[in-house]
Copies of this chain bind each other. A is one copy, B any other.
Amino acid sequence: VARRRGTEALSSATLANLRRVSTATLTTQLFKRGLRNTFIHGVRRISRPGPNLVGPAFTLRNIPSREDLDQLKVFEDPEHPQRKSIETVPAGHVLVVDCRGDTRAASAGGILLARLEVRGAAGFVSDGCVRDTPEIAGMAFPVFCAGGSAPLNLVRHHAADFQRPIGCGGVAVYPGDVIVGDGEGVVVVPARLADEVAADAAEQESLESFVIEEIKAGKALPGVYPPNDATRARYAQWKRKQTKK
């Protein structure tokens, strides 16, 4: 099965939709399609707040480190998978890192994240930690992880390989899956579903904008959320007005 898809393959409509919908809405659309486990557990944006992170996943996998293999000199090898993955991730893609949820070491730091930004990566997601978080807090580059942890990766992590399926925060991530991150966290959208999920999510949010207006105006939940036919009719009218604006 060809699961990989470059950013170029994300239609501009899908990109636009994914940039404005929330991860909450996306999980509902995925739930409707039978997918219940799509939100990466325990991860939040630690760099400067900004627009949604959107891009295809480029995956990096760590296993536990071993004292004899994981010494500082490994980084002198340009083929070291952590360094190589950073130099390889295509522009617009998101580096997604499997740390087995271990938060006792960093999976990247200020220099590597700066390099990712320069290379045009869309962002960085790890179910472990990163180091240099006081500096990273000021970066515009989207960094999502479990928090800050000073020790270098070698204390816990051995970068084993990249661009293979991984787990991240309890969720399966296949290379090319579409990653979306907002102020709540990160959702993984299977590549084949990205277009329809993005379109339906945008429509859902349009409806919910109307619903919340009604709720704030004092309407009760029954019939409004979820909407019955009468509410849907009012929504259709509201939407026509919105479009005119």
Contacts of A72 in B (CB 8 A): 28, 31-32, 226
Contacts of A87 in B (CB 8 A): 220-222
Among A150, A158, A225, chain B packs the most CB atoms within 10 A around the CB of A150
On whether the beta carbons of A115 and B215 are closer than 8 Å, the reply is yes
A24 touching B68 in the complex, CB below 8 Å, given contacts A31-B155, A215-B114, A226-B75: no
A9 at interface by CB-CB < 8 Å: no
A121 located at the interface, meaning its Cβ lies under 8 Å from any Cβ of chain B in the complex: no
Interface size on A, residues (CB 8 A): 82
Q: Shortest Cβ distance from A189 into chain B, in angstroms?
A: 12
Say whether A114 contacts B63, CB under 8 Å: no
Is A185 at the interface (CB under 8 A from chain B)?
yes
Q: Cβ of A160 < 8 Å from any Cβ of B?
A: yes
Given contacts A166-B63, A167-B100, contact A68 B151 (CB under 8 A): no
**A148 CB contacts on chain B under 8 angstroms:** 44, 183-185
Bound complex: CA of A115 vs CA of B33, how far in Å? 28
Name the B residues within 8 Å of A165 (CB-CB).
63, 158, 160-161
Q: Is the CB of A114 within 8 A of B212?
A: yes
Partner of A24, one of B32, B44, B132, B160: B132
Q: Does A236 contact B (CB under 8 A)?
A: no
A216 sits at the interface (CB 8 A):
yes
Residues of B within 8 A of A118 (CB): 215-216, 218
Q: Give Cα A115 to B65, complex, Å.
A: 33
Q: Mark A146-167, 1 if CB is under 8 A from B, else 0.
A: 0011111011001011001111
The one of B22, B39, B151, B182 in contact with A149, judged by C-beta atoms closer than 8 angstroms, is B39
Chain A interface (Cβ < 8 Å from any Cβ of B): 22-24, 26-28, 31-39, 41, 44, 63-69, 72, 75-76, 78, 83, 86-87, 100, 103-104, 106, 109-112, 114-115, 118, 131-134, 137, 148-152, 154-155, 158, 160-161, 164-167, 170-172, 182-185, 187, 190, 208, 211-212, 215-216, 218, 220-222, 225-226, 228
Q: Known pairs A104-B170, A110-B212, A148-B185. 18 more at Cβ < 8 A?
A: A24-B152, A27-B151, A31-B154, A34-B68, A36-B67, A64-B170, A65-B172, A66-B190, A76-B226, A87-B220, A100-B167, A111-B208, A111-B212, A115-B225, A118-B218, A131-B184, A132-B184, A148-B183
